[in-house]
Each structure stands twice: as C-alpha cells, then as structure tokens.
Amino acid sequence: MAAKELKIKLIKSPIGRIEKHKLCVKGLGFRKIHQTVTLEDTPSVRGMVNKIRDMVEIVEG
C-alpha cells in the first residue's frame, strides 16, 4: 500500500514570525513563497502544518 502524500503550498512569508514558526517552514522544506512541496502524510508533518496553518494551504490533488 502506497503511503499517502500531502501537497502543501507556502502562501505567506515567515518574515516577522516567531522562531518556532520559521523553523517549521524550514523543516517542511520551503525556500520561497508560492513553492509547493510534497511530503509523506505523517503525524509530525501534520503537526508542523497545523502550527503554521495560516501561512500554508493544502493543495488538492
């Protein structure tokens, strides 16, 4: 059975955010705004996405 994947897009800048939020953005693999990354759907990834949920959007697909 194939592992589920999440496509996540960074829609807001981490500039001016607290350090934990910046580390979540970096940990998810984002380098630029409007970049989309595909990650395995794990509890740790879901937790990071939840922490910065106002800065990212989950792309359907």
What range does the domain containing 21 cover?
5-59
Torsion angle, CA of 61/22/42/58, rounded to 10 degrees? -20
Q: What does the pLDDT read at residue 55?
A: 96
* CATH number of residue 16's parent domain: 3.30.1390.20
Q: Which two tokens stand for residue 57?
A: 């959007």
Domains: count for the chain: 1
| pTM summary value | 0.88
**pLDDT tens-digit readout, 13-50:** 999 999 999 999 999 999 999 999 999 999 999 999 99
